[in-house]
Amino acid sequence: MSKPVILTGLRANNDLTIGNYFGALLPMIDMATTKSNEYQINLFVPDLHSFTTPVDHRTLHEQIMHNLRLFVASGLPLDNADIHIYRQSYIPAHSELTWILDCFTGMGEMGRMTQFKDKSSKLSEDRISVGLFNYPVLMAADILLYGASYVPVGEDQTQHLEFTRDIAARLNNQFKAEFPEGLFTVPEAVAKQHAFFGKDQGLRIKDLADPTKKMSKSDETGKGVIFLGDEPSAAAKKIMGATTDSLGSVHYDKINQPGVTNLLDMLALLQHRGVKEVASEWEGNERYGDLKKAVAAEVETFLADFQARLATISDDAILQKLETSEQVMNETARRTLLRAQQAVGLRSL
């Protein structure tokens, strides 16, 4: 590969919310398009990761395709040769390298992962899979196969990135005689990742019913979450029912008025304006209903337009891009896997 690699994953399953759209989809697409002149962009679908916790396997394949359509409808270009879109499970080297890395990974290392502790605490013991426990090793393989230096990760994934750096350095040191230049490229440290991508991820949309927490698909009532597939009119009704407060005056105050502040953040995102400008226009307004109506109208228009774009997306174009990218990625991944196999004695040097 002639260019340094930026690697990140596209969600394989789960419904996407309007919060995912503004907080993840758009920033990812903007990063890919603006940096593709200088970097190779690897956007992979982590479909093997998608069932580390229980899912409906009957709908998994269609959900993967649906989410790819969502990314394309959000502006992901299919005609950029430096942006590669590929499915993890279509590159066998991901699974094969994971096994090699497993054999150099300690149980204690995996047991200390906070993501495993958090997710496993929500499952009964017989539903906690080895895959959930082993997730960071597969993530390390995802990164190391392509020599990726930059991997944008959220706070919940920083431990996994540090593990990737640790396992790469460990094998580089153990097999430095065979590969003095290094068996793997060690990705940059978290601090450098934040400096490269920017730690400030911008506005985050909160739950409409409980604006002290982020908007999440795990909301069982559905009242606090707007999905990209919601009927526009139904989404508008959710906005009208959003939790505010009893203070009776609009102020941008995340601590004392989180519900009102969330509505202002949403309005700024939907209107593509600065939040300070929007907040100043509404400052001191005593009619929360007017603010809700303004946000509801923007949400309804946004969803109607987005769903119209989504309906025009061609699966054939997506599949063609996947096939082209997967050929390139298989070649790169096989070369890295061969080096790892040679290092551990499975193949001759």
Please list the active-site residues.
Answer: 119, 214, 217
Give dist(CA 234, CA 170) in Å, integer. Answer: 53
109 class by beta-carbon count within 10 Å (0-12 exposed, 13-18 middle, 19+ buried): middle
In the numeric block, which tokens belong to residue 116? 């495993």
Cα→Cα distances 72→15, 79, 80, 185, 227, Å: 15, 11, 12, 30, 17
Give the DSSP per-residue string, 277-289.
HHHHHHTT---HH
303 class by beta-carbon count within 10 Å (0-12 exposed, 13-18 middle, 19+ buried): buried
Give dist(CA 137, CA 71) in Å, integer. Answer: 26
Q: Which of 204, 290, 192 is nearest to 250 (CA)?
A: 290
Give dist(CA 58, CA 69) in Å, integer. Answer: 19
Give dist(CA 29, CA 31) in Å, integer. Answer: 5
- With a CB cutoff of 8 Å and minimum separation 6, the contacts of 4 are 38, 39, 40, 149, 150
Give dist(CA 252, CA 312) in Å, integer. Answer: 38
Give dist(CA 81, CA 73) in Å, integer. Answer: 19
In the numeric block, which tokens belong to residue 305? 């337009």
Q: Are 284 and 249 in contact (CB under 8 A)?
A: yes
Q: What are phi and psi of 15, to 5 degrees?
A: -65, 145
Q: Are 262 and 291 in contact (CB under 8 A)?
A: no
Other CB atoms within a 10 A radius of the CB of residue 38 amount to 10
Give dist(CA 177, CA 179) in Å, integer. Answer: 6
